[in-house]
Amino acid sequence: METCLLSVDWDYFVYTWDNWGSYLENNRSITDLWYKRYIQAKARGEDIEKAFRLSSELDTFWNRIRKHFIFEKNVKAYVSDSHTLSYKIAKENNCKAVYLFDSHADLGYGGLSSLDFEVNCSNWLGKLLKEKQIEQANIFYSPYTAEKPEHFSQMNRVYNIRYYHFRDFDGCAMVSAIHICRSGAWTPPWLDNRFVQFVDAMGFTYETVDCPERKWDPANISLSDQIDYLMA
């Protein structure tokens, strides 16, 4: 049984009725922009926190995972903000397949030419396929995703890519590495406590790589802070 990387994006569990997420990953997008959106929404009489909710699948996820995945005795686990780290983890652990739970396929957007760019959070999986670091990609879309497999028709013709609904999956795979990313540009900071609980529920010792704590206290920000956030 070939070993694989189990890669889980926190946004798999996060539902929102609006597209609040940024497409860049930096301190501005993972924290400051969320305050800006909060302040702007409040000025319109809206509560941005009510625009997000977590999937009911969250509390049963790891139990369901253990029914279909076997973990190596010395499985390595990592937590980061950016999903880009999955590229490095897959290479360093000689993973031949990736099982991805995500709202996004991360195959690269814009066709095969998107894989000519340097590795980033939106193309890391496609880059692993192109460079023949892995032999197959298995994508489990979030029930809340706006993406469809046909959006990646070029990649689907060239590479071994499979798409699943978790409820219909009956396979089994050996996991040598686990990566959980927060994707803070797409997921709000007021859910970070639930994110930490989800990571701890995994049950394995993990290494945290560049996943800074985000302070969320909009009720106690000063006027000068509000001005700074609005300029973000």
Q: Give pTM, 2 decimals.
A: 0.93
**CA diameter of the chain:** 58
| Residue 23 lies inside a defined structural domain of this protein | no
Share of the chain above pLDDT 70, in %: 97
Q: What are phi and psi of 100, to 5 degrees?
A: -110, 125
Summarize the confidence of residues 35-61 as an average pLDDT: 93
The answer to whether position 159 is within a domain reads yes
Residue 28 lies in a domain: no
Token pair belonging to 211? 């996943």
Q: Note the pLDDT tens digit of each residue in 154-192.
A: 999 999 999 999 988 888 889 999 999 999 999 999 999
Cα separation values, 166 from 101, 117, 151, 214, Å? 9, 31, 20, 30
pLDDT at 133: 96
Count Cβ atoms within 10 A of the Cβ of residue 159 and give its class: 0-12 exposed, 13-18 middle, 19 or more buried.
buried
Tens of pLDDT along 57-84? 999 999 999 999 999 999 999 999 999 9
Looking at residue 13, its pLDDT comes to: 97
17 has pLDDT over 90: no
Is the torsion defined by CA of 141, 165, 54, 10 positive or negative?
negative
pLDDT digits (tens, 9 = 90+) for 136-147: 999 999 999 989
Domain hosting 64: range is 3-18+55-216
In a domain, 202, yes or no: yes
Handedness of CA 70, 205, 7, 186 (dihedral sign): positive
- Dist. CA 79–CA 85, nearest whole Å: 9
**How many domains does one find in the chain?**
1
Radius of gyration of the chain (CA): 18
Would you say residue 208 lies in a domain?
yes
In a domain, 197, yes or no: yes
Residue 68 in any domain: the answer is yes
Q: Is residue 37 part of a domain?
A: no
For 97-133, the pLDDT digits (tens) are 999 999 999 999 988 998 999 999 999 999 999 999 9
